Structure formats: structure tokens, C-alpha cells
Structure 1
Amino acid sequence: MDTITLQCRFDLEGEPLYTLKWYKGGKEFYRYIPKEMPNTQVFPLPGINVDRSKSNPYEVVLRNVQPEATGKYKCEVSSDAPNFYTVMESAYLFVVDVPVDDPVMTVDKEVADVGSTLTGNCSAPASYPAANVTWYLNGRKIPQSSQRLLSPSELQNAVSSASVPSVSSRRMPMVAFSQLELEIDEETFQNGKARLKCTGTIFHLYKREKEIVLEEERPRPKPSSVLGIRDAAGGKRIPNCICLHVKGFNSLT
């Protein structure tokens, strides 16, 4: 498991340090009092494992970090007599269980016609917190999609069921499962093909994607790039333009 370091930098402007305390969610788990022996105390707290040998007044090292360590941390510093000034700062720690696999993406058909509806499913691997799944069509984000958080065991039921159960727990690895219904219109395909992609992201730590190339069932004919008229005598195509020759230059108007 990973090790993290909590840092608390302070300047008492010449005042002696009386005590330094660390809290998680309002509960104290580390205390340093330089005048006492031993000068360090550690209080048991679920998910918090302090490495005493590597901790000091300026930083506290947590080992074997689990998702339960996620939460708000506060450092409180107090000066000694006669003033006993106290200052505190807090920060939020999010422990991320990053997946290593790519998202899994399926569609009900890879060949579609204009006017039809395509259904797609995309699930990011189990992680904590769950990944955010985003759909793209030809490089553009598709806003119309639904996403639910499922435990790995519930994912199988969700794929084959119309109703997707909701999960309230956020302390276990979750699968981000997204369903998409895409109305195929004339702008979906480019030269008879369309690129449908789903991307799974977790902050800046994880970004994986899966892409499927869709094909148009009855590709529309491409517009001709050369327009012209035919010679009534020989049937030869003549460019529909007026060409002028001026001082050695060919100009088209």
C-alpha cells in the first residue's frame, strides 16, 4: 500500500512551540509536545496508521493508506506561554484506487441508417472513487447520457436489465456504468463512417478510452466536385466556367 506525508509548515515569529496536533474529521490522531517525554503521542483512528519513526513536528507520515483515510485533515499549532497563540489550517485528502484496465464499450449495432437509434453501454473498471464516463461522437462530447455507480457484482445485472439499481456506499470500489441512446441523423456520419468513443477519467490520475467505428448502412452519394455541361454534338463534358487568357496568365472568373 502507498505511503503519504502530511505537511504542516508554520512560523511562530520567535514564540516557542507549545503543541502541534493533527485531526481527521474533528478527531485527534497525532500530538507533539516538545516539553514532554515522550514528546509524541498517537491516538488510534480507523484507517490512520502513523509511522512514528518518520514523523516530526513538520510532517506526519501515514503508511498502508486505505480508502478510509479519505477525509478532511487539520493541523493545529499553539505557541507557549505567555501568549498561547493558536493557528490552524485544513485540507482535504482523497485516496484514489486507480484501475489499470480500459473501459468496456458495447453497441447494439455497428452498421446503422439515418433515422435509427443506437444503444450503447460503457463501463469503467472498478475504482474508488468511481470514474467519470464521457461519450464522444466524431470528437465532440455527447451530453445526453446517463451514468450510475454499481458494485462489480451488480454490473452483470445492469447490462441485461432495463432498471439499474442505485448504490449508496462510497467506501468500496465502484463501477461507473453509462448508457447511451443516440439518434442517428444526417450529421452523424462523415464519408459513411462515424467514430463513437467513451472515456473514463479520475481526476488527473486515470484516463482511458475505447472507440468503435460505425458505418452508414446506405451511404449517401458524394456530391460531384466538378460541375459542367455536355457538348450537344459529342457528349463531351465542358467545364462550366469562363477562362480568360491575359498576358500569359490563366485566370478563372
Structure 2
Amino acid sequence: MTWIHIFLLSAIQGWCAALEITHFNVPRFVDRKEDAVLECAFGLQAREQLQSVKWYHIDHLGGMREFYSFQPGRNPPAKTYKLPGVFVAMRHSNIRRVLLRRVSLNTTGTYRCEVTAKSNPGFDSKNLQANMVVLELPKSDPVISGGLRQYHMGERLELNCTSPRSYPPTSLKWFINDQEHESEEEFPLRHGSKNGLYRSRIGLNITVHMNLFKYGKIRIECVGEIEDGIIQGMSQGSSHQIETIRLPEALKRERSEVFVVPLVSSSPNSQKSKIFCLVITLMISLRPSWTILLNL
């Protein structure tokens, strides 16, 4: 075997056994206030010595900041850096995993793991990254407010429907007897200044008439569904792009509340007329008694 073959064989063996990230995991979706585990396992060749493992958070504008590092030659080897929304549980974090406590909407972003090893000669470095989105899904149904216990023909029926706070925002729709009805009024989204959550509200204003009744009642339903398509920045190398993240169907489960209007056959005026007629009838029927009393 010539020296050229020996050189090529050594190079191939070195390349095959070089630093490699063997397992990498960043949860795609995490519920707000839950914990999140970031994983980054790697393998080294015999001649390589681990220099550091570093974790970075990349925001939607492309800004990248280090928040955790592990260097075997440092005392202590693990170190964390303050970053809004990123709180590392040091006791539960190590060279291959990082635990983030009680994530918030500010935790959303791209997470990059960078592993650097010292080789002969120079250094070898590998990195992988993935997006994580923090959600606040509705934990209760939308609430219908307003409305009366019963209505008469020709009266106005006015309702409001309000969603619980969520992120992304909840999209609300009206259904009358299982048929979608366009909302007469959509209120501006209310955005929480502290937690960043949204609250949606829509209004309904219709006139009660016989054609609306089905099987003796009007069934009005307000349906809420999490809006799809989260806009998030994504950095790759020297470039930064905006992408739309689609939610799995399982996370977009609909919630609803129902308001039922029973059938009332008469209008207020006709009801008053019936009462008036009943009073006149009673007065006429009692008239002979009045005559007798007057004669006495």
C-alpha cells in the first residue's frame, strides 16, 4: 500500500468518524406556561475533544442571541444568559438537553444547537435548528351574551359572542339553524398588553320572523376556531425569511355555544289586544249585576 492510499484511507476514516449531531429535537408546538425540552446529542471521533455546546434563540426579526452554553473546561461548565421569555432550569439541563420553564409567547422562535470540537488541526463545528411556536388554545367555549327569554314577531334580536383569550386569535362565526350567517358587526381584536393573548367578539342583529323558525324554534350557534397561519421569521445562515406555520387539524378543534329562541305565536300588540278584549267581555258579562246594585 502506497503512502497515497494510506493518506486517502485515513482521510475517509476521519471524515466518517467526524463530529456529528446524532439526535436533535425542538418541540414544534408548546402550550403556554408548560415546560419545553430541547435535545441535542452528538458523537465525536477519538481524536476530537469537545470544546462547547451552545444554544441560540433567533427571533422573528432574525436577531440571534445565546442563552445557554456548556464548556467542559469551564468551572462550572454550564452557564445561562438572560433572555426575555427563555428561562433555563439549570438543575435539569446538561450537555445534551436544555429544559425551558413555563414558556410564554416570547419563547416562540427558532432554536439552534451548535456543537464545536477541537481537532488536529483546528476546530470542527456542526449546528442544527428548528422552529418552536408557543400557543394558548381556548380552554372554554365562546360566550353568547344579550338576548331575551322570548321574542315576538317583528322584534329585533341582538346578541354578542365573545371568545376566551387565545393565541393565535380565535375566529368566530354565527350559524342560524346550522346555516352560516354573516356577522353584522365585528369588533376589533383585543390584544392583552401583558400576556399577548387575543380576545375576539362579534355581534348579531336580526329581525324575528316566521321564516327563521325551524321545528318551532330558532337555533343560533356561535362557533370559534383558532385561526390558521402563524407568521414567523426563519433564519438560515446569512439569510432571513418569513414563513407561514400551519397548525395541525387536531389543534384547531371548534368550540361553540348555542342560543335557542322558542316560537311565540303572537306579537306584543296582538297579545295586548287579547287582554283588552278579555277585560271588555268580563265587564259586559257583569253588567246585569251592576244594574241591580244601582236599582237598590
Normalised by the length of structure 1, the TM-score is 0.61
| 1:58 equivalent in structure 2 | 96
| 2:66 equivalent in structure 1 | 28
| 1:39 equivalent in structure 2 | 77
Q: Contact 1:148–1:178 at 8 Å: present in 2 too? A: no
Equivalent-residue separation in structure 2 for 1:207 and 1:94 (angstroms): 19
**Given the alignment of the two structures, is residue 6 of structure 1 paired with residue 37 of structure 2, yes or no?**
yes
The structure that has the greater radius of gyration is 2
Residue type of the alignment partner of 1:85: S
Q: What is the root-mean-square deviation of aligned Cα atoms in Å? A: 3.7
Residues 103-126 of structure 1: per-residue CA shift (max 9 Å, x gap): 32135455365x876432111234
Equivalent-residue separation in structure 2 for 1:185 and 1:10 (angstroms): 67
Equivalent-residue separation in structure 2 for 1:70 and 1:182 (angstroms): 44
Residues 135-189 of structure 1: per-residue CA shift (max 9 Å, x gap): 2223344454625322xxxxxxxxxxxxxxxx58584444321223457687643
Equivalent-residue separation in structure 2 for 1:130 and 1:87 (angstroms): 34
Say which of 124, 129, 132 aligns to 1:84.
124
Equivalent-residue separation in structure 1 for 2:152 and 2:125 (angstroms): 71
Counterparts of residues 157-172 of structure 1 (less than 5 Å): 169=193, 171-172=195-196
| 1:231 equivalent in structure 2 | none
SS in 2 for 1:56: coil
Tell me which protein shows more helix as a share of its residues: 2
**Given the alignment of the two structures, is residue 135 of structure 1 paired with residue 174 of structure 2, yes or no?**
yes
Residue type of the alignment partner of 1:47: G
Normalised by the length of structure 2, the TM-score is 0.53
Cα deviation for residue 207 of structure 1 reads: 5.7
SS in 1 for 2:118: coil
CA gap of 1:181–1:84, structure 2 versus 1, over 3 A, is: farther
Is the deviation greater in 83-92 or in 40-49? Answer: 83-92
Over the matched positions of the two proteins, sequence identity in percent amounts to: 23
Cα deviation for residue 213 of structure 1 reads: 0.9
Q: Contact 1:23–1:30 at 8 Å: present in 2 too? A: yes
**Given the alignment of the two structures, is residue 105 of structure 1 paired with residue 136 of structure 2, yes or no?**
no
**Given the alignment of the two structures, is residue 122 of structure 1 paired with residue 161 of structure 2, yes or no?**
yes
Cα deviation for residue 4 of structure 1 reads: 0.9
Is the deviation greater in 53-62 or in 178-187? Answer: 178-187
Q: Contact 1:3–1:61 at 8 Å: present in 2 too? A: no
CA gap of 1:187–1:94, structure 2 versus 1, over 3 A, is: farther
